[in-house]
Every structure is written in C-alpha cells, then in structure tokens.
Amino acid sequence: MNLMDYLSARFRRAKDGLREAPLVPGDPLTGHLLRFREDAIGTLEDVASRGGEVVRAPFGPFLTFVISDPEHVQTVLVDRHRDFPKFQIGQRALEQILGGGLLTTDGPRWMRYRRTTQPSFHKRTIDSFDRDFVAAAEHVFHDGLEDVRIDVHEAMMKTALHAVSTTLLSADIAGKEAIVAESLDFILHITRERTLRPSLPRFIPTREHREFLEALERLDEIVYRIIAESRLAQEPSGLVASLSAAEDPETGEKLTTTELRDQLITLFLAGHETTASALSFSIHHLVSHPEIYQEMLEEIDGVLGDRVPTSEDLPKLDLTRRVIEEAMRLHPPAWMMSREVRKDTRLGEYFIPRGSVVIIPPYLMHRNPRFWDEPLRFDPSRFLPEARRSRPRYAYFPFGGGPRLCIGLGFALAEATLVLARVSQRYRFERPAHAEPLRLRTQITLRPESGMTMILRRRGEALEATESVREDGVASPE
C-alpha cells in the first residue's frame, strides 16, 4: 500500500466513523518483515501483545492486521469470506509447485475443484484407509527397534508419507520416499524464502532456480507415472482413481490430467508434513507428561489389547484423539493463515482498508489466556465435550474454517489416531538425558527445528504384525 492509498484509506475511514486499529510500528523501511524472517512466531507474539484484538503493523510493503479475537476470525474465514480471499503473494509462490490445485486457486475455479474432489473425502472412504494408516505405522516403527535412538519427526514424516502415498496414490513409492521427502522439503524451503525476500526473475538460471525446477521435475515424474499406472490398471483403487473418475456434480466435467496432477501434489504436500508434525508434537507432550502418557496407554491397551486397530475403534480411542487435539492447540501445524482484503471493511469497530493483509495465527489464539486457563499447560481434558462447548468456536481452529476448511480433516484425525495407537501398542518413547529443548521451525507448517530425538522402549510381547519387517534407517542403537 503506497502513500496515496494510505491517505485515501484514512479519508474513507473517517467518513465511515470507524476507528484505526492500534499501530505497532517497525523499522521505517521494512516494518517487521526482517524480524519476522528471523523469528516469525516471536514477532507476531510481540506485535499482538502490544495491541488488542486487532493490531495494525507494517510488514514490508504490506499494511497488515494481526487478529486475536475468535469473532473476527469467524468473520474473515466464514461470515464474510468473499471479502477476504487468500493472500496472493503466498498463493503465487505455492502455485509454482502446486499449479492450480485446491490450495492455490480461488473463486469459481476453486469451487469447481472443491465440488469435484469433496466426495472422495467421504467418511466411508477415509474409514476404508484404516489398514493403510496402520501399515504405514508398522512400516516405520517395525519390530526390533527396542532401545534405539530415533528422530521422531523424521520417523513420523516417513510414516505420513507412506500413508499418503498408499491411500492417495494407491502406490507403494518404496525406494522413492527419500526423493519425494527431499524434493518436497527443498521446494518448501525455497518457496518460503521467496515469499519473504525479493528473488531474481525465474527465467534467470541461478543455481537456486535450477535446483528448484529439478526437485519439481523429480516429484512430477513420480506423480505422472502413478496417474498413468492408475489409468491402465484393471481395477484402479485409492484416491487417485476416485479423483480421476470424479465429476463436477453441477457440470459433469472431469479433471484433466494436469488438473489431477495439481490436486495430487496439493494433497501430497498439504497432507503429509502437517499430520507428521501433529504426531511428533503429540509425542513431545506425552513424554513430558508421564501420567497422561500412562492413561493414554491404558486406554489403548483396554480398547485394543493385541488387536490391530481399525476405523471402528476410533470413537473408543477418545483420550488418544484428545492428546492429538491438545498437541495441535499448543503446536498447530498450520500455525498461521493470511488473507487479502478485497474491499474496505470493518472488524468490530476497526476500519480495514482494501489492499491490506489480515494475519490469523492459530498459534497465538490457541495460547490466548482469554480463552484458555493456564494456556501453556498440556491438558487433553480441554477437549471433553463440556469444555469444548464453553469456548467460542474460533478459539481453536487448527484446520481453518468456512468454505476453505481443510478437506483432509477427517483423514488427518483418523490417520494420526490410528498411527499413535498402533505405535503405542508396541513402543513407548523416552526423552534421552541431556536432550536439547524443543525449538520450532516455521516453514509453511510448524515443525521441530532440528528433529526430535527420543529413545524407543519396547512395551509387552511382540504383537501381531501386518507387514513384514523392513530396515529403513531412521534408527540407531542407543
């Protein structure tokens, strides 16, 4: 927003009799942007704490409003979502990877994709993935890992990648997991960098641009091969088949091969690191709270014994699920969302000019003492039905809300609960002596900065295994 826009916005505000949100000025040239690049969460915490429910703060060229009130979150995500489309700069950076998938499109094109893909995420379909989720857990946390030191986040990334590839793509990408994981990681890193600092135009062949394209090509090669194999299969299965056959209920149109590729890469990307982080942070909190850990293990033993969990067990694994929900409160994988302001509007008594940006950080809302007693305390009982009802709806929104609500919500909760239950039947995690304190990394998703080292201890006798044992190199002897 330039000076003329700013002056004209001030005039329009005065005309509407609205107030200006408290300003937290930053550096005269860059606002809070440089600090945000170094410490995104610390910067937002600081900015929000120096104002009220809506705070005005410059971030580079953008006049930005940081929101800390659940009603305003509901206004932005749900009630007046048309006035607050997704923030284009973030969208454009992601578009280079995802093309025109569900995450990166807006308006009628997004609506067509959402109508077409939504039925593939029906509860019945998700329930049918239970064996795949359990197999993914067994694939990584296989027998024979007792007393080894393990990077929990790396192991959960492998688990989630395995789960997402077998369910979405209906293909075992064995041997290619490292390629996919490294390519995705590199692509995400560059994408975040590009949204936060100016970069040379893409046609200039810098090393970074070349490596970015190569990583993308490696990923595309795998996805296009899977689409082709699925189209040739006698009995195609999995989400790739379901999306391939899906028709827009309004027009009967199907997705083209490129559109299908874009949706699959989107689901791949949106669905794997987020769930892995939810699981890693759950383990982090469990080992810090042995009584809750013990109670959860008792629930799992009581419901399952030695039996392999299925989707029918999900309602009975109540505490297990609440552990995951509470972990996502303190460490929401999608820690920040941003929207553009399409036209002059208001949030409560505050004027929000068109062209500005709204930041809605679940990370801050989930720790706001106005809605959470002792917000830093890990306490899964916050998700018992009565406690849930006592809070405003948007005091907790790890999956977003409104029409852009995460399409994979049911998938993620089922996967995380079944994986946590299956792993816990076999193993218990223990924090090694002199473990480094948890440090956070804020890429597009929130994750532990430098992994999460734990020791795996075997629980009870060997359990019924549903997949053969494989060495996968995530562990080393303790």
Q: Under a CB-based contact definition with an 8 Å cutoff, are residues 454 and 431 in contact?
A: yes
**3-class secondary structure, 194:** helix
- Six token digits for residue 457: 């201890």
| Rounded-to-integer distance, Cα 268 and Cα 160, Å | 10
- Six token digits for residue 426: 């076999």
Q: How far is the CB of 143 from ligand HEM (least distance, A)?
A: 27
Residues 6+ apart with CB under 8 A from 339: 76, 84, 85, 86, 87, 357, 358, 360
Length of the chain: 478
| Rounded-to-integer distance, Cα 22 and Cα 6, Å | 15
What is the 8-class DSSP label of residue 129?
T
- Six token digits for residue 434: 């002199």
- Six token digits for residue 351: 């004027």
Q: How far is the CB of 402 from ligand HEM (least distance, A)?
A: 8
| Rounded-to-integer distance, Cα 179 and Cα 253, Å | 34
C-beta closer to ligand HEM: residue 67 or 103:
103
| Rounded-to-integer distance, Cα 124 and Cα 431, Å | 38
Instruction: Write the CA distances from 36 to 31, 32, 274, 440, integer angstroms.
Output: 9, 6, 21, 14
Burial of 233 (0-12, 13-18, 19+ CB in 10 A): middle
Instruction: Compute CA 291 distance to the chain's CA centroid, rounded to the nearest angstrom.
Output: 28
C-beta closer to ligand HEM: residue 26 or 116:
116
β-strand 148-151 against 475-477: which pairing, if any?
A: antiparallel
Amino acid at 356: S
Q: What values do phi and psi take at 462, rounded to 5? A: -55, 135
Q: Under a CB-based contact definition with an 8 Å cutoff, are residues 179 and 204 in contact?
A: no
Q: Under a CB-based contact definition with an 8 Å cutoff, are residues 463 and 422 in contact?
A: no
Provide the binding-site residues for ligand HEM, judged by CB under 6 A. Answer: 102-103, 114, 266-267, 270-271, 274-275, 278, 333-334, 337, 398-400, 404, 406-408, 411-412
